[in-house]
Amino acid sequence: MAGLSELLANGRRLAFVIDIERYITMPRKTILTPACEKRVFELALNAKRILAVILGAAAVTLALPALASASYGWPVKPFGQEHPIRGQLNDPRMNSPVFYSSSSHTFHFGVDIAAPDGTAVYAVAPGRVHYVNPSDISIRGTKGTSNFAYWHIRPIVKNGKSVRLHALLGYIEPERGHVHFAENRNGHYINPLRRGGVTPYTDTTQPTIASLSYYDGTYHDLTNATVSGAVKLTVNAFDTPQLVSNWPWAVVTPAWIGWQLFDGNGQKIKTGHWDLGSALCPLDPLEVFAPGTLKNNWYGAGSYNYWLGQEWDTTRVQNGTFWLVVTAADIRGNETTKTVSFTVANEPATSTPA
């Protein structure tokens, strides 16, 4: 059976087509031809049948992560109570507030659990202490188990010491307001908020898609726009944490962003997705994040702009109406979909007189 991430990815791709059926009933400036409408409805009906099968299989596989690795409590008390998150796996990280003006670009490799300075931090699993630096430690488990990182603390445990479950490790450093918590299994950072990770964890909020744009050095709203030549499509999207933290303005990256581009005949032109929820993204952050991306900071919320694939040469398609369907989902499967139509209008090629 396919993995859950693959099943959900396929299901979301089909959901894009289903969303077009809803799109046809929306008031809009662009009028679709009867042949186009028929084609889109056929795609939607077929997608619904297949989607039912995929979601049924996905429901069965939801239990698999919990079986593969036992869940664990939170690293701050109460261990069995959910705590606010103000930073998510694969959030943008850089060495200045603005992403593209920074000399360093990385993905956040864990989650930031908000708590007052001086809060006690405890081990979520037994293991041996390893100092990364004076304020960042990891607890390394036995072979086949996860290693856990606890950053921005004042450790009280000695390097190399074995610790038990719920052993006191240290206290959150002044002016940090959070402990950076990460899980590494078999050399790969994975999302602690996945099913089978830290528990309890709930998320019922839907991600927000703030805008769909094209970028040519400046952002332009794609809704009913007319484009030509080479364009770069982008989305500004974010997820709002379930619990309010000590940075109440903080937003986090969606766990999954997918897109499909259709022409006026209902034919798929482009498709793609960013998986930002299962594990640390192996891509170059500049391939994912678009200009204007800002990280959360003490003075305000971040702004997360994402490329929707590579530059698109519109001269390779016929002029006419196109529509872009984008879905953003969180780690618990809450989704938001946004659809926009726009026009491609390139000047006809001219031949040079002999």
- Check which CATH number belongs to the domain holding 156 and give it: 2.70.70.10
Task: Give the per-residue pLDDT at 352.
Answer: 57
Question: Domain boundary at 136, 169, 190, which?
Answer: 190
- pLDDT of residue 111 exceeding 70, the answer is yes
Helix (H, G, I), strand (E, B) or coil at 354: coil
Same-domain check for residues 147 and 37: no
Task: Give the per-residue pLDDT at 58.
Answer: 38
Same-domain check for residues 239 and 340: yes
Residues 259-274 have pLDDT tens digits of 999 999 999 999 999 9
Same-domain check for residues 116 and 218: no
Same-domain check for residues 180 and 148: yes
Task: Give the per-residue pLDDT at 242.
Answer: 96
Residues 37-66 have pLDDT tens digits of 555 445 544 444 443 433 334 333 333 343
Task: Give the per-residue pLDDT at 33.
Answer: 55
Same-domain check for residues 79 and 33: no
Q: 119 lies in a domain?
A: yes
Same-domain check for residues 56 and 122: no
Give the contacts of 193 (CB within 8 A, at least 6 positions apart). Answer: 85, 88, 89, 111, 201, 203, 331
Q: 353 lies in a domain?
A: no
Question: Domain boundary at 140, 163, 190, which?
Answer: 190
Residue 276's Cβ-side half-sphere holds a number of Cα atoms within 13 Å equal to 32
Q: 351 lies in a domain?
A: no
Same-domain check for residues 127 and 108: yes
Of the pLDDT bands very low, low, confident and very high (cuts 50, 70, 90), residue 77 is: very high
Q: 196 lies in a domain?
A: no
Q: 18 lies in a domain?
A: yes
Number of domains composing the chain: 2
Same-domain check for residues 48 and 132: no
Task: Please give the Cα distance from 118 to 69 (Å, whole number).
Answer: 30
Same-domain check for residues 221 and 294: yes
Please give the mean pLDDT across all residues of the chain: 85
Q: How far, rounded to the nearest angstrom, does the alpha carbon of residue 76 sit from its chain's CA centroid?
A: 25
- pLDDT of residue 2 exceeding 90, the answer is no
Task: Give the per-residue pLDDT at 144.
Answer: 77
pTM (predicted TM-score): 0.82
Same-domain check for residues 53 and 78: no
Q: 354 lies in a domain?
A: no
Question: Domain boundary at 155, 190, 225, which?
Answer: 190
Same-domain check for residues 255 and 330: yes
Q: How far, rounded to the nearest angstrom, does the alpha carbon of residue 236 sit from its chain's CA centroid?
A: 12
Residue 116's Cβ-count burial label (10 Å; 0-12, 13-18, 19+) is exposed
- Residue 62 is inside which H or E element, if any? none
Print the domain residue range for 95.
70-190
Q: 207 lies in a domain?
A: yes
Alpha helices in 249-346 (DSSP H): 285-288
- Check which CATH number belongs to the domain holding 226 and give it: 2.60.40.2550
Q: Which pair of structure tokens corresponds to residue 153?
A: 């603390």
Q: 197 lies in a domain?
A: no
Same-domain check for residues 239 and 145: no
**CA angle in degrees (0–180, nearest 5) for 281-116-237:** 35
